[in-house]
Amino acid sequence: MTVSFQPFKTAFTVALLLLTPALAQQEDTSDWNVSRQGDTWTLTPKQLPQGLTFRMTAFPVTALKNQTLESWMKAFIQKDSTKRGKIISPLNNLQEEGNMLVGALGIETAGEQRVLLYAAIDAQEGHGQMFLLESSLNKTLSETYGPRFSSMVARAYQEYHPSASQSSGTGKFALPAGAKKGGKLETGKYTCQTPGYQNQVIQFDVSLYDNGEYRLTNDSTGKWQYNPKTGEIDISVTADLYNSSYNNDTFSLFYRDKNNKPLIYAEDDGDPTLCLFAGKVKDLSPSAQEAADQKKREEERRFKYVTAPGKGVQMNQMEGLVLHYELQVNGLNGMVMQMPELALLLKDGTAYTGLRVPPEDLDIKASRKFEPDKWTKWKKNGKTYLMQEGQKWNDIGSLKVVPATKGEKISGNFKHMASSYSFGLGGTTFTTYYSFDSKNRFEVSDHSLSSTGGMAASNGFSSSASTTSDKEGTRSTVGTAGGGDSFGNGPAVVVTSQNNSNQGNPEKAGTYTLSGYTLQMKTSNGKVIRKLFFFFDSKKEEVWIEDSLFHSTRKE
């Protein structure tokens, strides 16, 4: 299922997906305390551990009064949930699960965090019925009692709709008669349909590229795998186009119909998805698009006001380069933080702010013409430097950084880390290493680790991805888990994929020279790269490279 048209299963609905009405009929309530207030029934386990909460409630059938089931359910949840505690994780979107609408949110009451899982069904004509599971966040409770909630809802639906067909794969979603599976896969664009709530049809596209990549309508991307002998094609777990290793009722197969037209037919626990071939793809594959976008971003970021190497600002023109800190919004995590800023102070009393290239390469004339807002004035007050901003003079401290001597050599590993991670939303942590030795050799390696956060986990979905890029090549691993819950239940589906490139990255290694504020690197493929460089202080344990401060790893 994909986020935009077939939502991920809510945190506590795995049981709803695993139990059918037939199974529901097999249970009894002998181990439950059953109470009634008017037409509202409440069930609690007789063996419930002390201090924990697990309560199932069946509310009376209610007239919808010309409302849709969805709007009625939203209004009901808004009114009912506020009575039960402080909302700490609000309701997002209601989700369609078979014949039900479900929605989950988190509350805190009496010092305990609980989940509220609401499920609504169409009852008699023009009526709806609501069910509620209120539970402590406890794995044992979920494993022991969770399936009873789905049984209760499924049983109620079957009572109101005894003739409702439980079969799938019929009508417009059926596999065409005479279709044969397997054989050569036809890459291209496929238009897919799957049944939704209340006879709605959910439609989405899948594009399969010759390089083994795919893209869904919502821009989810990944790698597909295909076995021409069996016809099994694994595309996306979230779109229900995959083959389960433990459940024969979940499969995804490539076919050709009796007219030799390609199609993909899949079922997820009996729910069908039919994808018909719609022609060749006309857009770039995800990796090719990313490469094109990256090239465009690099061009946009490229600093254009430079001279020939070393023909810019000379040492005898500089008062120094001052590192100071200003309150700014961190672009990675959106937080207001003290961020490092550079001020290049010239002996003529002018200052250039936000230096991105070695001063030795800065074209002063072009910069002053095309980016005049980067220029201001400076003066000194004792040992402290002041820089003009409008009518004010701001104190930027006295930290003049240390340039390298001509031909200086350094040895060791230097690391920079940046992160956009937050517990609720997840994010990415980036780490870059520069390694230098006394023989003027360097190596660079980049690492990233991305993961979903607590909000996604509470809705039964988690994903992580790691990438390492160095002179040997690029290696990545992606893991996705869906169908679990924040009680700690094991996920229903776990998919891990790895991608290793044997092609080296020649720009990640080579030789270097230092001079002043310039690090010049000649890469293994002969490319010459010049970056802004300096030491933080005379100890030379921290260095600035391009736009970031790197710390020595000797003390780690």
Domains of the chain: 14-160 (3.40.1000), 171-279 (2.40.128), 315-395 (no CATH), 412-552 (no CATH)
Amino acid of residue 198? Q
Q: How far apart are CA 289 and CA 214, in angstroms?
A: 12
476: tokens are 């990545």
Q: How far apart are CA 123 and CA 166, in angstroms?
A: 17
Q: How far apart are CA 162 and CA 158, in angstroms?
A: 5
Check if the beta carbon of residue 544 is closer than 8 Å to that of residue 533: yes
Give strand pairing partners of 265: 253, 274
Phi, psi of 484 (to 5 degrees): -90, -165
Tokens 């980036």 belong to which residue?
A: 430
Biggest distance spanned by C-alpha atoms of the chain: 91
Helix (H) or strand (E) holding 299: helix 286-301
List the pLDDT tens digit at each of the 556 positions of the chain.
222 222 223 333 333 333 333 333 334 567 889 999 998 999 999 988 888 999 999 999 999 998 999 999 999 999 999 999 999 888 888 887 667 888 889 999 988 899 999 999 988 788 999 999 999 988 777 767 777 787 788 778 777 776 554 444 445 788 888 899 999 999 999 999 988 766 678 899 999 999 999 999 877 899 999 999 999 999 998 888 999 887 777 899 999 999 999 999 999 877 899 999 999 999 999 999 999 998 898 888 889 999 999 999 999 999 999 999 887 665 555 567 788 899 999 999 999 999 999 999 999 999 999 999 999 999 999 999 999 999 999 999 999 999 999 999 999 999 999 876 555 556 788 899 999 999 999 999 999 887 765 554 555 555 677 888 899 888 887 665 554 444 444 444 444 445 555 678 899 999 999 999 999 999 999 999 999 999 999 999 999 999 999 999 987 7
C-alpha distance across the termini of the chain, in Å: 44
As a three-state string, the secondary structure of 83-142 is: CCCEEEECCCCCEEECCEEEEEEEEEECCEEEEEEEEEEECCCCEEEEEEEEEECCHHHH
Check if the beta carbon of residue 417 is closer than 8 Å to that of residue 431: yes
Q: How far apart are CA 261 and CA 279, in angstroms?
A: 11
Tell me what pLDDT residue 458 has: 53
Tell me what pLDDT residue 25 has: 35
- The pairs formed by 449-455 with CB atoms below 8 angstroms and a separation of 24 or more are 450/426, 451/421, 451/426, 451/427, 452/426, 453/421, 453/422, 453/423, 453/424, 453/425, 453/426, 453/427, 454/423, 454/424, 454/486, 455/89, 455/424, 455/425, 455/426
Tell me what pLDDT residue 3 has: 27
Indicate the pTM of the whole model.
0.50
**Residue 182: which residues within 8 A CB-CB, separation 6 or more?**
227, 228, 229, 230, 231, 254
Amino acid of residue 265? Y
Q: Report the 10 Å Cβ neighbour count for 348.
A: 10
Q: How far apart are CA 88 and CA 10, in angstroms?
A: 16
